[in-house]
Amino acid sequence: MSTAPGTFSGDAPDAFDTLFEEAPGTKRNLFDAPTFDNVTLCYLGAVAAGSTDGKAIAEAIVDVTGPGGAQYTFEQLPQAIEALEAGKDIDYEGASGPVDWDEGGDLSRYIYDISEFKGGNLVKLDTVEVEAAG
């Protein structure tokens, strides 16, 4: 048995998966979508903070990921940036699914795939969603 980070289903994760699979180059791996989201969040955090200071960006990331603002996906980054520059609150929905950070800077939801080897192939048995305590 093994566990690995899973990907939420939804419009943004499905669109990211399609774009990645259609692009030339390497095949998908476990951390493509979360890595993409992390880079995007650093950029959105800098825009929201109006600064390139790491601490200011980290604090702003909580605001751009949490519920309450208008939702934007990676396909709507120009509109998300315009909203932030206008001082509006946004809720980034990532390529890996909802990316909702709590006030402590931790993800509030996780998803894991549970798999095992059968006949020499890794077969997904289940997907488990976990909400962080708090």
* Strand, coil or helix: 129: strand
Which among 38, 3, 32, 39 has a CA at the least distance from the CA of 18? 32
Task: For residue 18, give both structure tokens.
Answer: 């399609």
Q: Got the DSSP string for 94-127?
A: ETTEE--B-TTS-BSEEEEEEEEEETTEEEEEEE
Which among 21, 18, 24, 9 has a CA at the least distance from the CA of 94? 9
Q: What is the pLDDT of residues 93-119, one digit of tens each?
A: 999 888 888 877 788 888 888 999 999
Q: What is the pLDDT of residues 30-87, one digit of tens each?
A: 788 889 999 999 999 999 999 999 999 999 998 899 888 999 999 999 999 999 999 9
